[in-house]
Every structure is written in structure tokens, then in C-alpha cells.
Amino acid sequence: MIGKLRGRIDSYGPDWVIVDVGGVGYHVFCSSKTLAALPPMGEAAEVLTEMLVSQDMIRLVGFATAHERDWFRLLQTVQGVGTKVALAILSTLSASEIGNAIALQDKAMIGRANGVGKKLAERIALELKDKVPAFAPADATLARLQADHSAPRPTGITDAISALVNLGYGQVQAGTAVAAAIRKNGDDQPTEKLIRQALRELAVS
């Protein structure tokens, strides 16, 4: 198995890079975020890889960070998510944004990726919601918020997030700001204070 390549960037394509390692060019498929993180052609680079073997093909998929590679592996445990869709999600959302979207069950955020329809976004959010806190640092407070946000009766946290969404902020953006406010002042503060603190967090982010 090939887990890492260290060499020089030979050339780029829309969704791939060729890494020259000792005169051998390795064709590596990547997300757009990984491609953007790699250096210009001719410069030294290190790319983490996942080798995929099928009956008729061997492919390398590359990642700028181990965190991104871990998410690639986890996403593919969901039925309907193959290499192409997993890379599309990682091209659209950062690793932390994926974790936060799942923690808050923000299916619309997940559905922004090419090839991810409503049903698949729902499946990803549902099947991975219990794996996010242990698997990756989607904000730990955000992961805890998910239970409050899904509660049948409104809570101060839910009301604060809803208020920020009504002001035009995205679900994940609002949840992240509320999580930051809770970390600073606790989760027993009045809803109005929570909203004000969350707005301050948004103003400086």
C-alpha cells in the first residue's frame, strides 16, 4: 500500500496532480482544497495518499492533511458515497465544516457538494452523527449542541441558533458562534445574552 508520496510536483489537472518521485510520476486524484494547498509545479511536496484497488484499476487519492484523509475514509462508509462524491464534499467543505454540519444535522450544507442530493445528504448526516465527536474535532461543544437542537421542545440554545439563522447566518455559522458563546459563558445564560455573545463572535470571526 502507498500511504505517502514525497517528491516534486510535475503537473496539475482539474482534479489530479502528478508527483515525480525519483523519476516515477504518480497520478493522484485530489479534492480542490488539497490541490490549492500544494506548491507550484517543480517544487518539493509531500502528499498523503489512499490507494484504491478494484478489479480493473488501481488509483491513488491524495490529501494535504491526515484529517482530510480520515474524513475521506469515513464518508465512504455511507452507502452511495464513492470516491467521486467524497472528493466533491471535501472540495466544497473543509473537514471542520463537514463535522459541524453533521453535528448540527445541516443537510443543506452537506448538499452543496456536487453529486449530493437531498436523500444522500440526509443519509450522511444521519449515519455519521454519532461518529463525529469521537472521530474528529467537529467543535466538541457543537457536537453537544446537536442533541439540544434536535430536542422536541425549544431550548435557549435552539432559539439562539434559530434567531441567528433568521438574521441571515448559515446554520453551521450560527451553531459555531453559539458554541463559542457557551464555551465562554456557560450554557445557562439567558437566550438574549446568548444571542448577543454569539453576534460578537460572528463580528470578530
- DSSP codes of every residue in 106-149: -HHHHTTSTT--HHHHHHHHHHHTTTHHHHS-S-HHHHHHHHHH
Residue-averaged pLDDT of the chain: 85
Q: Domain ranges in the chain?
A: 4-64, 140-205
pLDDT over threshold 60, residue 143: no
How large a percentage of the chain has pLDDT more than 70?
87
Task: Give tens-digit pLDDT for 28-70.
Answer: 999 999 999 999 999 999 999 999 998 888 999 999 999 899 9
Per the structure block, which three cell numbers stand in for 71?
Answer: 474524513
Phi, psi of 77 (to 5 degrees): -75, -10
Q: Which of 108-117, 126-135, 156-165, 183-192 has the lowest mean pLDDT?
A: 126-135
What's the pLDDT score for residue 175? 79
More confidently predicted of 86 and 134: 86
More confidently predicted of 115 and 175: 115
Query: Would you identify the CATH topology of the domain 4-64?
Result: OB fold (Dihydrolipoamide Acetyltransferase, E2P) (2.40.50)
Specify the pTM. Answer: 0.70
